[in-house]
């Protein structure tokens, strides 16, 4: 296949798979259909459209942006260049959150997703916890437009509210936490049961280590966080407890080499009665878990 050869020459990983994903997208078919119909011939107009997509991938534009979709937690999500592309390792946050909700016995938990992007954490949790009410924030209005499209796609408008703002700023003047289901009335006067976040954590000095796909195309404000990559994480560690209920939990994705610093940072606040770093399947630091005193 000409497309596979072009992708291979451009040093794209798994060129045949990438070519199939793009072809299935242009044909609006499942990939398995391509294998069941190997003799299928493309019409000239369709072939031109297909090769235009291949040309974009040759330039290292991520496939997720080309087809405007990525799966997370076995759910489809619309993604654009205004949002970070979901990574499988972020699913660890969902796993931990579900375990904590079960452990604490919360019947109708209020959950906050800070820096939601295209909405993957909020929507995955809403999907798994039908009784939960969620608020998802992002500083980028463009990202919230994409998140709103995903909220509608999954039929969760009644349980997921979207708020524009920088981290905990939108809640500083609020005496109560707002619930989507109650149309502006308060869901609790004590704060959220659970707060999750996948903030920027790449140090600016580490730019050169990023793949071309990330460096050229993903939103910089979702990637970089100061010289050491810890500016946003530190802000969250210090401010999140003010909107958590007593004994509630904070779950935050971190960089693979940030565990020790983040753990000490959390302990130094004196606000958390328990903190832990969880590793991903590769054995790398991935998630900070903190319980408010």
- DSSP class of residue 243 equals G
CA distances from 215 to 207, 227, 228, 284 (A): 7, 16, 17, 22
For helices 120-128 and 141-153, angle between their N-to-C axes, nearest 10 degrees: 30
| pLDDT value at residue 190 | 73
Confidence (pLDDT) at 172: 77
The DSSP element (H or E) to which 252 belongs, if any, is: strand 244-253
- Which sequence spans correspond to the domains of the chain? 2-59, 88-292
CATH class of the domain defined by 88-292:
alpha beta
Q: What would the 3-class secondary structure string for 105-119 be?
A: CCCCCEEEEECCCCC
For the chain of 293 residues, list the mean pLDDT of each consecutive stretch of 10.
Answer: 93 96 94 88 92 97 98 98 98 98 96 98 98 97 98 98 95 53 44 97 91 95 94 97 96 97 96 97 97 95
Q: Which residues have a Cβ under 8 Å from the Cβ of 199 and sit 6 or more positions away?
A: 114, 115, 225, 232, 233, 236, 252, 253
Residue 174 is predicted with a pLDDT of 54
Distance between CA 170 and CA 107 in Å, rounded?
A: 26
CA gap 225, 260 in Å, rounded: 17
Residues 6+ apart with CB under 8 A from 76: 69, 70, 153
């Amino acid at each position: 296949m000409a497309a596979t050869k072009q992708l291979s020459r451009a040093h794209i990983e798994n060129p045949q798979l990438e070519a199939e994903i793009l072809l299935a997208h242009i044909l609006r078919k499942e990939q398995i259909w391509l294998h069941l119909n190997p003799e299928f011939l493309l019409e000239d107009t369709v072939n031109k459209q297909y090769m235009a997509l291949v040309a974009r991938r040759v330039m290292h534009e991520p496939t997720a942006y080309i087809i405007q979709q990525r799966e997370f937690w076995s759910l489809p999500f619309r993604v654009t260049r205004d949002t970070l592309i979901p990574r499988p390792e972020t699913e660890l946050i969902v796993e931990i959150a579900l375990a904590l909700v079960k452990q604490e016995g919360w019947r109708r938990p209020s959950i906050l997703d800070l820096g939601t992007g295209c909405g993957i954490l909020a929507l995955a949790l809403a999907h798994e916890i039908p009784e939960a009410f969620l608020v998802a924030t992002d500083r980028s209005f463009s990202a919230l437009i994409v998140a709103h499209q995903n909220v509608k796609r999954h039929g969760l408008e009644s349980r997921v509210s979207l708020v524009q703002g920088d981290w905990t700023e939108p809640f500083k003047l609020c005496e109560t936490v707002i619930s989507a289901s109650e149309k502006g009335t308060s869901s609790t006067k004590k704060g959220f049961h659970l707060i999750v976040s996948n903030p920027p954590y790449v140090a600016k000095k580490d730019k050169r280590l990023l793949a071309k796909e990330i460096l050229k195309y993903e939103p910089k404000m979702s990637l970089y966080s100061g010289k050491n990559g810890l500016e946003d994480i530190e802000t969250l560690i210090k401010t999140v407890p003010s909107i958590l209920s007593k004994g509630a939990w904070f779950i935050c994705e971190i960089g693979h080499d940030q565990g020790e610093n983040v753990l000490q940072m959390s302990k130094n606040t004196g606000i958390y009665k328990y903190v832990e770093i969880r590793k991903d399947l590769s054995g790398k630091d991935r998630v900070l878990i903190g319980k408010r005193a």
